[in-house]
């Protein structure tokens, strides 16, 4: 069976601009403490099932929070822009048919001072990702 989360990571890491910044460091929800920026952390924070007059049509829209961690403020924002651009075009990955994705608002600067690590730059953006499991 198709797996939305695995396909979403694969889709993002297949994008040259995203991969150039994070390499293969992209995860859902948990990122190990030893992982150094830059990296991408995703979290499914809601969504809806698409329907029409005859009922649900199989399309889903996930609201995904993308936290883009960077060594610098500029790098975290570049990663956010790369992620937004990567989800814009419809595609199919590992049995998941993606529609056109978009950002719901602009990236928010949520950097913070972390004891023992210093200031960690983070740009967070909510994505609306339409998809259907094939």
Q: Which CATH class is domain 4-133?
A: alpha beta
- Residue recorded with tokens 């890491």: 13
Q: pLDDT value at position 50? A: 65
Q: pLDDT value at position 56? A: 63
CA 124 vs CA 1, 3, 33, 55, 107: distances in Å = 30, 24, 19, 34, 5
Q: pLDDT value at position 51? A: 63
- Per residue in 83-123, pLDDT tens? 999 999 999 999 999 999 999 999 999 988 888 888 999 99
- Per residue in 30-82, pLDDT tens? 888 888 999 999 999 987 666 666 766 678 899 999 999 999 999 999 999 99
Residue 6 has pLDDT above 70, yes or no: yes
């Amino acid at each position: 069976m198709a797996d939305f989360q695995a396909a979403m990571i694969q889709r993002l890491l297949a994008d040259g601009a995203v991969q150039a910044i994070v390499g293969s460091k992209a995860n859902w929800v948990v990122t190990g403490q030893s992982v150094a920026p830059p990296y991408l952390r995703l979290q499914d924070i809601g969504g809806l099932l698409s329907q029409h007059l005859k009922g649900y049509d199989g399309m889903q829209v996930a609201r995904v929070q993308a936290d883009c961690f960077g060594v610098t403020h500029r790098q975290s924002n570049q990663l956010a822009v790369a992620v937004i651009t990567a989800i814009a075009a419809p595609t199919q990955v590992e049995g998941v048919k993606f529609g056109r994705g978009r950002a719901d608002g602009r990236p928010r600067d949520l950097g913070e001072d972390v004891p023992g690590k210093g200031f960690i730059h983070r740009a967070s953006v909510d994505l609306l990702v339409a998809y259907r499991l094939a």
